[in-house]
Amino acid sequence: SAALTQPPSLSVSPGQTATITCSGDNWGDKNVCWYQQKPGQSPFLVIFEDTRRPSGIPERFSGSSSGSTATLTISETQAMDEAVYYCQAWDTSTVIFGGGTKLTVL
């Protein structure tokens, strides 16, 4: 069945680069987007259509895609970036989310 796989957790030090992957065998040719969710808050969009940043999202956030894997990269990670990150993809009949990656900035 269709699924998007993310690592459950990732830890980085402030100033380092965080790289979060999202893999799906059946979703390689589909657009992917990414959401950030902090505790007690609604998710919000940080990357759409694989690489595009919504207005107001810092340039530190970037997206890429190759084959069946999409990647969210956060450069110069800050404490405020600590959150759960979800990838999402869609096709002509459904929408699917990855399981989420908890990013800890130590």
Distance of CA 1 to the CA centre of its chain: 21
- Tokens representing 55 are 């207005």
Instruction: Give the total of residues touching other proteins (CB under 8 A).
Output: 23
Give the shortest CB-99-to-other proteins separation in angstroms: 5
Q: Does 61 contact other proteins by CB under 8 A?
A: no
* One residue of 65, 82, 98, 103 binding other proteins per CB under 8 A: 98
| CB nearer to other proteins: pick between 16 and 99 | 99
| Number of Cα atoms under 13 Å in the Cβ half of residue 87 | 32
Kindly state the smallest distance separating residue 90's Cβ from other proteins, in Å: 4
3-state helix, strand, coil in the chain (%, to 5): 5, 50, 45
